[in-house]
Amino acid sequence: LPGLVIDNTQAKLTGEWSHSSSIGGYVGTEYLHDANDSKGMKSATFRTKIPKAGRYEVRVAYTANANRASKVPVTIESKAGRKKVELNQREAPKHTGFQTVATIDVAADEMVSVVISNAETNGHVIVDAVQWLPAKSE
C-alpha cells in the first residue's frame, strides 16, 4: 500500500475489542470491532511519525456493512491542533478499503495520531488501519 500505513495490530487499544475476518477487504490478517457494546469505553490510537513535511490525506480503513455505526468519531491530533470528524462505516470506502477523513499540514518528523472511538455510536465500530498519503496538488 502506498504512503504510511498503520495496521490495527500497531494501534494502542483502550477497552476490549473483538477480532474478526468475516467480511473481506481488510488490511493485514484481521480487523477489530467493538461488538456494539461498552459505548464510550473503547478507542484505538494510531500514532505515526511523518518523516517529510507537507500536506497529507488521512485515510481510515474499514469493512462496510449495514450493521456498522454511521457516526464514528475520529480525532486527528497534530501540532496544528485537533480535528474531529465523523465517519459513516455503513457506506463503502471510496479508496479501495480506505476513506479520506481529513487533509492536514504536517511538519517533518512530526508525531501525529488518529483516534477512533465508539462514543455515542449507533452500530458496530470497525478498526482496521490508518493511511497517510501526500495530498495531490489542486
Query: Nearest CA to 116 among 68, 80, 72?
Result: 72
Are the C-beta atoms of 86 and 123 separated by less than 8 Å? no
pLDDT value, residue 137 = 65
Residue 37's CB: how many other CB atoms inside 10 A? 12
| CA–CA gap between residue 29 and residue 42 (Å, rounded) | 21
Q: pTM for this one?
A: 0.95
Q: What pLDDT tens digit does each residue of the chain (138 aa) get?
A: 889 999 999 999 999 999 999 999 999 999 999 999 999 999 999 999 999 999 999 999 999 999 999 999 999 999 989 999 999 999 999 999 999 999 999 999 999 999 999 999 999 999 999 999 999 865
